[in-house]
């Protein structure tokens, strides 16, 4: 197995070469006014939201090829890795519009064209403890991510922003603050989606200016439930050979509160202190359980 990529600082955040090798093209990416950007910190529910939006637009489209993996239906803008089409090229070759585009970039690094074109942006955030747990298992199984290393050290790495795409705190707050100056954004929470998927699908639809029938909404809800996506090879990354799903499946648990099975009492108390300190000045609040 080839070596895992190294983390380094780039434009003020931690990244690996996979996300910087195509940087000029990413930075100068030309968005179209109807492009839809799906932005998240890694492991916050990107694939879930991508599947929902894709289903709303194209789930029932006549003539669409039936078997297209989610990472091709919703290309990952900044990715540039051997064995996969560059994200920018994959977006350019999308046959449908609106183009659905995924990014994990912190708000300040998003190509400016998206703002200039006034594109719709959907952001989903997840409580930090579950986000961290999910990221930990992902780094264990994804061969193009830096090694996770031991669990207790991983908590420190998360808190100090030493993970790919940098600090969770900066990411969620940066995007939260952007809402104040950029109204064409819907800020969603993984916990809300988990609590009531059908309600959140309605919110997403109205933000996108879509009016699906009740029957259609039911179809999308059914299609994007955890159990359905877990058994859908076009959604569960089983066709993506950079991941070793025998170590940990991509569709791992899909719950709120799995952090309780990972954090010790002491780790949790320390994390809570840090969270309080870092979130003190923000109006952004997370539910650690539902
Ligand atoms: P867990 O590791 O906690 O199970 P991303 O797509 O941003 O990489 O996020 C992956 C996380 O979202 C994983 O979390 C995965 O199980 C969860 N997820 C994906 N689809 C989901 C769904 N339909 N319902 C609930 N969680 C889902």
The widest CA-to-CA distance across the chain, in whole angstroms, is 55
Backbone angles phi, psi at 173, to 5 degrees: -80, -35
Say which DSSP state 26 is in: H
Instruction: Decide whether any atom of ligand 1 lies within 6 Å of the 258 Cβ.
Output: yes
pLDDT of residue 224: 98
Q: Which band of pLDDT confidence, cut at 50, 70 and 90, is reported for residue 66? A: confident
Instruction: Decide whether any atom of ligand 1 lies within 6 Å of the 22 Cβ.
Output: no
Beta-carbon-side half-sphere exposure of residue 240 (alpha carbons within 13 Å): 24
Residue-wise pLDDT for 215-249, tens only, equals 999 999 999 999 999 999 999 999 999 999 999 99
Catalogue the active-site residues: 104
| Cα 24 to middle of ligand 1, angstroms | 30
The b/e string for 219-256 (b: 16+ C-beta within 10 A; e otherwise) is bbbebbeeeebeebebbbbeebeebeeeebebbbbbeb
Instruction: Decide whether any atom of ligand 1 lies within 6 Å of the 102 Cβ.
Output: no
ipTM over 0.85: yes
Query: Has residue 1 got a pLDDT over 80?
Result: no
Backbone angles phi, psi at 124, to 5 degrees: -120, 130
Mutational pocket test of ligand 1: of 52, 220, 253, 254, the residue with most ligand atoms within 8 Å of the beta carbon: 254
Mutational pocket test of ligand 1: of 39, 40, 42, 48, the residue with most ligand atoms within 8 Å of the beta carbon: 48
Asked whether 77 and 29 are in contact (CB, 8 A), the reply is: yes
Those residues with Cβ within 8 angstroms of residue 159's Cβ, 6 or more apart along the chain or in another chain: 271, 274
Mean pLDDT of all residues belonging to the chain: 97
| Cα 145 to middle of ligand 1, angstroms | 17
């Amino acid at each position: 197995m080839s070596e895992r990529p190294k983390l380094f600082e780039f434009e003020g955040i931690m990244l690996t070469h996979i996300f910087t090798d195509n940087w000029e093209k990413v930075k100068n990416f030309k968005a179209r006014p109807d492009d839809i950007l799906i932005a998240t910190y890694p492991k916050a529910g990107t694939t879930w939201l991508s599947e929902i939006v894709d289903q709303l637009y194209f789930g029932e489209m006549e003539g669409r090829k039936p078997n297209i993996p989610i990472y091709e239906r919703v290309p990952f803008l900044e990715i540039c890795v051997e064995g996969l089409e560059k994200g920018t090229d994959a977006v350019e070759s999308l046959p449908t519009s609106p183009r659905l585009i995924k990014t994990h970039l912190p708000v300040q690094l998003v190509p400016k064209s998206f703002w200039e074109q006034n594109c719709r942006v959907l952001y989903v955030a997840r409580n930090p403890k579950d986000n961290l747990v999910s990221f930990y298992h992902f780094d264990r199984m994804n061969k193009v991510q830096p090694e996770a290393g031991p669990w207790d050290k991983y908590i420190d790495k998360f808190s100090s922003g030493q993970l790919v795409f940098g600090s969770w705190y900066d990411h969620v707050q940066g995007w939260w603050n952007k809402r104040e100056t950029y109204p064409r954004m819907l800020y969603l929470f993984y916990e809300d989606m988990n609590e009531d998927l059908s309600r959140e699908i309605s919110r997403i639809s109205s933000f996108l200016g879509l009016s699906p029938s009740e029957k259609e909404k039911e179809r999308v809800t059914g299609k994007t439930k955890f159990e359905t996506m877990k058994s859908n090879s076009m959604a569960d990354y089983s066709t993506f050979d950079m991941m070793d799903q025998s170590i940990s499946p991509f569709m791992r648990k899909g719950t709120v509160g799995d952090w309780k099975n990972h954090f010790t009492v002491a780790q949790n108390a320390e994390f809570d202190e840090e969270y309080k300190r870092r979130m003190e000045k923000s109006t952004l609040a997370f539910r650690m359980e539902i």
